[in-house]
């Protein structure tokens, strides 16, 4: 190579400090200069000449002259070696790995070099990709062309495998990808960008963002003034492997057309509509939607179609969870937690669903470790279906919408109705978005005088009902009535609560009972002792009543357990049961009346 060729560096290479270094190669050296300086200048001249033309001649990066020159630079000047390495990285052709050049030019090697592992190669390929760390969810992500992949997930594995094959024309092992995921997770947590990353829905400022889940990674922005495809948002979404795309919404649909495909009737329609819209708000607590009904009430198809309009999945209906870990794992990778055909829920499972409704976490021992924890922090909309009412825990009862489905009057071909629903989905989704816009516009003007439990949902539903033309207070009244019915249904599962309620119903005075817990136990046990679930001791009775106190209070029965007293010759924990004489929606007469007519309280018949 002559000196003239050595000095013809392209502008993109000759810049900053690199330009200053390369210019040294053209300087006429004075007599008596240090030989090491001469060697460095010659090596730099050779190296940059090769880098300038490496795109046209990739093999020159592995010619002995280049390798010898770079080795010389690495021995004599770490600063110049850093500049050369950056220049190689910026100008090398696709398919040439910097790791291979590092290995070949390592002065400590024998000249042959050693090929890096597949994991190292992948890490180098992904070196420029942004890493994200969502502290709220304790998840890590990598971004590629505005697409977000959760590190270690199945979509991440598939993306890395595809990228590696396109780059090098060969497959990569699963163990290498796992090693890459392990390394990237650490980098993302310590050096990555701290950023909230959402699954399907996100609230930001005064807008709601809904991720379409399609191949173009599009989202919809909904505000009080309208909805549109969002192209400028900085909201980040990731796509779990099971997520399917929402239909492209079409304006002009009618919300009433929804009931052609969902077996929901009467006042329940407002509750279900409010739940569907609420599922798009990521920051508020969610009520649990429980669809109950006998065979032939289209529970599964109604359940599935509700989900397909909010968060379609490759598995819309999942089998009943075996334990609470199943619930949280499902919540970790799905926006809507969905279980069907549930026969019973344990107390722990009901507690888990309650936690999901308001937001919380689950921790378990990390696999293959003894003292580390894996934590899942989530808040999710939950929908279940069952024949009996399976939610009996009072804390969860306060957060449930029990929707009782009626038998179909006529049956239609499943293939036909599914095809019609699929064709109607774009307009139905558009109708939901139109109603969401009107609800958001109405929401700032809605106030509740006596907010019930799940006050955010009640206020949102009231805004929706008013936006649809219903009278003020209509939704709040329906919501409270449904809650009272749910409480009463849950009480039916507790023989203690039923016994106390019957005692209050049969008493003609305000004070139903005043004595010790043992005296109450003795009074009730003669009629209840044969029941399998009846408490076996006064202490058990006291604990059971304590759990049911909020429910009893909601139907107008006040229970107060005090300290140790001597009453009527006996010493023990005092308990007083009274009727609450008021005209609120929860008094005992109203609830009993509601229960007796709850199967006939629909304002219109089902037409599906």
- pLDDT of 575-607, one tens digit each? 999 998 754 444 443 333 333 333 333 333 333
**Residue 522 CB contacts under 8 Å (≥ 6 apart), including other chains:** none
Round to whole Å and give the CA distance between 13 and 409. 78
Q: Confidence band (pLDDT; 50, 70, 90) for 136?
A: low
Residues in the chain: 608
Q: Looking at the predicted structure, is the pLDDT value of residue 36 above 80? A: no
Say what the pLDDT of residue 22 is.
Answer: 40
Query: Which residue would you say has higher pLDDT here, 222 or 118?
Result: 222
Other Cβ atoms within 10 Å of 71 Cβ, number? 19
Q: Looking at the predicted structure, is the pLDDT value of residue 109 above 70? A: no
Say what the pLDDT of residue 208 is.
Answer: 95
Q: How far is CA 422 from CA 338, 419, 445, 488, in A?
A: 20, 5, 36, 38
- pLDDT of 314-373, one tens digit each? 888 777 788 888 888 888 888 999 998 888 888 888 888 888 887 766 555 544 444 445
Say what the pLDDT of residue 24 is.
Answer: 41
One-character DSSP codes across 346-359: -HHHHHHHHHHHH-
Q: Confidence band (pLDDT; 50, 70, 90) for 530?
A: low
Round to whole Å and give the CA distance between 301 and 418. 9
Instruction: Among 7-21, 88-102, 123-137, 344-358, name the one with the lowest average pLDDT.
Output: 7-21
Say what the pLDDT of residue 5 is.
Answer: 40
The arithmetic mean of pLDDT across residues 514-529, rounded, is: 82
Domains and CATH numbers, the chain: 3-115 (no CATH), 120-195 (no CATH), 255-486 (3.40.50), 494-598 (1.10.10)
Q: What angle do CA 482, 485, 490 make, to 5 degrees?
A: 125
Task: State the distance between the two ends of the chain, measured CA to CA, in whole angstroms.
Answer: 84
**Residue 112 CB contacts under 8 Å (≥ 6 apart), including other chains:** none
Q: What percent of the chain has pLDDT over 90?
A: 37
Say what the pLDDT of residue 7 is.
Answer: 39
Round to whole Å and give the CA distance between 331 and 322. 14
Round to whole Å and give the CA distance between 289 and 338. 10
- For residue 223, what are its two tokens? 């505000």
Query: Any alpha helices (H) in 537-604, and if so which ranges?
Result: 538-554, 588-597
Round to whole Å and give the CA distance between 556 and 579. 6
The arithmetic mean of pLDDT across residues 509-529, rounded, is: 84
Say what the pLDDT of residue 6 is.
Answer: 40
Q: How far is CA 322 from CA 349, 359, 391, 392, in A?
A: 9, 21, 16, 18
**Residue 17 CB contacts under 8 Å (≥ 6 apart), including other chains:** 83
One-character DSSP codes across 278-344: HTT-SSS---EEEEE--TTS-HHHHHHHHHHTT--BTTSSBPPPSSHHHHHHHHHS-SSEEE-S---
Q: Angle, to 10 degrees, between the axis of helix 474-492 and the axis of helix 495-506?
A: 110
At which residue do the structure tokens 């334990």 appear?
Answer: 323
At which residue do the structure tokens 């005064």 appear?
Answer: 206
Q: How far is CA 349 from CA 326, 334, 354, 421, in A?
A: 10, 18, 9, 33
3-state secondary structure of 370: coil
Q: How far is CA 589 from CA 298, 505, 517, 581, in A?
A: 33, 9, 26, 10
């Amino acid at each position: 190579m002559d000196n003239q060729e050595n000095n013809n560096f392209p502008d993109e290479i000759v810049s900053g400090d690199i330009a200053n270094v390369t210019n040294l190669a053209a300087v006429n050296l004075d007599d008596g200069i240090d030989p090491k300086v001469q060697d460095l200048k010659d090596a730099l001249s050779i190296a940059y000449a090769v880098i300038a033309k490496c795109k046209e001649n990739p093999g020159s990066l592995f010619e002995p002259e280049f390798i010898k020159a770079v080795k010389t630079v690495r021995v004599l000047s770490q600063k110049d070696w850093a500049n050369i390495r950056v220049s190689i990285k910026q100008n090398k052709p696709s398919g040439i790995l910097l790791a291979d050049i590092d290995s070949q030019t390592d002065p400590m090697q024998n000249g042959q070099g050693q090929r890096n592992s597949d994991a190292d190669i992948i890490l180098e390929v992904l070196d420029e990709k942004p890493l994200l760390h969502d502290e709220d969810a304790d998840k890590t992500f990598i971004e590629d062309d505005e697409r977000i992949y959760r590190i270690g997930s199945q979509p991440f594995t598939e993306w890395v495998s595809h990228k590696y094959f396109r780059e090098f024309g060969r497959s990569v092992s699963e163990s290498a990808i796992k090693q890459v995921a392990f390394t990237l997770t650490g980098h993302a947590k310590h050096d990555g960008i701290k950023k909230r990353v959402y699954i399907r829905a996100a609230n930001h400022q005064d807008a709601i963002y809904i991720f379409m889940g399609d191949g173009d990674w599009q989202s919809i922005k909904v505000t009080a003034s309208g909805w549109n495809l969002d192209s400028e948002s900085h909201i980040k979404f990731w796509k779990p492997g099971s997520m399917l795309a929402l239909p492209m919404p079409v304006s002009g649909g009618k919300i009433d057309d929804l009931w052609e495909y969902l077996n929901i009737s009467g006042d329940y329609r407002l509750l279900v509509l409010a739940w569907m819209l609420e599922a798009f708000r990521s920051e508020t607590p969610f009520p649990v939607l429980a669809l109950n009904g006998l065979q032939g009430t289209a529970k599964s198809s109604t359940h599935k179609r509700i989900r397909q309009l909010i968060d379609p999945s490759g598995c819309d209906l999942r089998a009943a969870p075996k334990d609470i870990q199943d619930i949280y794992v499902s919540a970790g990778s799905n926006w809507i937690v969905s279980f069907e055909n549930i026969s019973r829920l344990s107390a722990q499972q009901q507690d888990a669903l309650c936690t999901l409704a308001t937001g919380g976490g689950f921790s378990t021992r990390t696999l293959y470790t003894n003292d580390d924890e894996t934590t899942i922090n989530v808040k999710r909309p939950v929908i279940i279906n069952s024949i009996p009412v399976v939610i009996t825990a009072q804390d969860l009862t306060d957060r449930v919408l029990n929707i009782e489905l009626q038998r179909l009057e006529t049956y239609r071909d499943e293939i036909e109705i599914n095809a019609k629903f699929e064709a109607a989905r774009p307009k139905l989704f558009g109708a939901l978005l139109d109603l969401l816009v009107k609800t958001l516009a109405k929401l700032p003007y809605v106030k509740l005088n006596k907010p019930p439990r799940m006050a955010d949902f009640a206020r949102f539903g009231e805004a929706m009902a008013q936006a649809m033309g219903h009278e003020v207070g209509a939704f709040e009244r329906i919501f409270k009535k449904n809650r009272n019915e749910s409480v009463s249904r849950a009480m039916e599962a507790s023989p203690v609560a039923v016994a106390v309620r019957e005692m209050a119903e049969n008493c003609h005075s305000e004070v139903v009972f005043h004595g010790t817990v043992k005296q109450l136990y003795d009074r009730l046990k003669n009629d209840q002792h044969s029941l399998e679930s009846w408490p076996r001791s006064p202490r058990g009775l006291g604990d059971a009543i304590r759990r049911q106190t909020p429910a009893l209070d909601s139907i107008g029965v006040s229970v107060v357990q005090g300290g140790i007293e001597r009453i009527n010759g006996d010493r023990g924990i005092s308990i007083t049961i009274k009727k609450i004489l008021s005209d609120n929606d929860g008094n005992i007469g109203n609830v009993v009346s509601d229960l007796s007519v709850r199967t006939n309280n629909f304002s219109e018949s089902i037409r599906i």
